[in-house]
Structure 1
């Protein structure tokens, strides 16, 4: 791996970690979502710190250039993050639906109770 690529990945991962840290600190991202992004920054950091390991993986998978492996790695990482966030959104959608149903039942019971009082 070229020194410029290692330096670029190091800078990228550190800057990304800083951005996510700032968002979590300001409350713009919940910690549980921030962990996903911290993991991504950490993965990119390890890729840049362990170039020998990346060379071994490049040769094992038959990539012609390590940059192609890095791009494939980043695409896989983004797809994983997208999948995790999709799972989170789906879970929240189910929770919101349940909350709306419970609220509707309580509202109906309250209206029935108020009608009987009158």
Structure 2
């Protein structure tokens, strides 16, 4: 299982990568494998403030729909438009082309409560 050590993780299987004062967010390699083939990503929170642990969208796989939970509080600045035509990017490259949103960071201290790759790996049995 791919667990980049430069990312933080949530128990709900999202990852977050901080670049300056913005964060990129997506779902983990473990989550995409559990969901199976992803056919649609629905995110309607562009330009909206989302609280930590609040739903910012959904991801639809062949057999299920799953909520996406924000690891931090912030405003959604960008939705990955690449996913409109290629939702399978979440399966093939969950930490790269398959990122879902870019958001501002309202409270940097929230990052401290997130999981390291090692802790998340232990949670999912990696």
The bucket for the TM-score relative to the shorter chain is under 0.3
TM-score, normalisation: structure 2: 0.24
Q: Which has the larger radius of gyration?
A: 1
Ranked by relative contact order (alpha carbons within 8 Å, sequence separation 6 or more), the top structure is 2
